Amino acid sequence: PFLELHVVLFFWLFYLIFFLFQVKSCEFPQFKYGCLYYEEILRPNFPVSIGNKYSYKCDNGFSPPSGLFWDYLRCTVQGWEPEVPCVRKCVFHYVENGESAYWEKIYVQGQSLKVQCYNGYSLQNGQDTMTCTENGWSPPPKCIRIKTCSVSDIEIENGFFSESFRTYALNRETSYRCKQGYVTNTGETSRSITCLQNGWSPQPSCIRHLGIGGIFFFFIQYNKYPGITGMNKPFFIQV
């Protein structure tokens, strides 16, 4: 019985492998930025069984993930491998307004490199890393001047900045306070503002705090009452 069990398992495994390799197949591979060598001659042979492989090449500016000029596309149980046959090839020449130790080096899609921008400059994403993508370098190899906001850009009437810094980087947040007797337009004694591309937002504002329960004093002119023509008489409103 033990031997019979092994024989059964052997034949079951054999037929399973046979089934996978014979039934499972790959259709003609269609992929971006490249093609098979002699694909028009080979096309009638598809679909093909697992285990077949075909040489292919990529368009200018792209390469196989291996970085070689050409490589093999293999039919596997999961489908064609590599899954993305042609990836972008990025050449790093230089970074504007910055520097890097990796001049004239070739990268493939998904790889990254670090650059150092000059003081006061940054890559467009605010980081120090560029990545080779399907569409080229992201962000582009150019350091741009960092946007800053200065406390001297605005004058807070009846208020002042809470911190002693003079300049703030883009997207940096700070706060201001209103003098005694004044509040922000949201009714608070202090409020946060952020340095944006177009300046501080929201614009700081301090208005007089009227309070509750105060008495407002007005003058109205009576000219309809006998004997009081043209005279001012005090008028009080309780709030």
Q: For residue 209, give the 3-state DSSP assignment.
A: coil
Of 65, 71, 77, which Cα lies nearest the Cα of 35? Answer: 71
Per-residue confidence at 212, pLDDT binned at 50, 70, 90? low
Is 153 part of any domain? yes
Co-location of 121 and 161 in the same domain: no
Co-location of 59 and 93 in the same domain: no
Residue with tokens 């921008």: 117
DSSP secondary-structure letter at 142? B
Co-location of 35 and 61 in the same domain: yes
CB 172 within 8 A of CB 158: no
Sheet holding 190-196, edge to edge: 159-161, 173-178, 190-196, 199-201
Q: One-letter amino acid identity for 229?
A: T
Question: In degrees to the nearest 10, what's the CA dihedral of 71, 73, 76, 80?
Answer: 130
Is 216 part of any domain? no
Co-location of 94 and 79 in the same domain: no
Is 229 part of any domain? no
Rounded to two decimals, what is the model's pTM?
0.57
Question: Which pLDDT value is given to residue 134?
Answer: 95
- What is the pLDDT averaged over residues 52-81? 95
Question: Which pLDDT value is given to residue 211?
Answer: 63
Domain that holds residue 119: 88-145
Per-residue confidence at 167, pLDDT binned at 50, 70, 90? confident
Per-residue confidence at 217, pLDDT binned at 50, 70, 90? very low
Q: What is the CATH number of the domain that holds 68?
A: 2.10.70.10
- What is the pLDDT averaged over residues 27-56? 95
Of 171, 173, 154, 153, which Cα lies nearest the Cα of 163? Answer: 173
Number of structural domains the chain divides into: 3
Cα end-to-end distance, the chain, whole Å: 102
| Bigger pLDDT: 232 vs 199 | 199
CB 116 within 8 A of CB 99: yes
Question: Which pLDDT value is given to residue 11?
Answer: 62
Is 101 part of any domain? yes
Question: Which pLDDT value is given to residue 22?
Answer: 53
CB 131 within 8 A of CB 138: yes
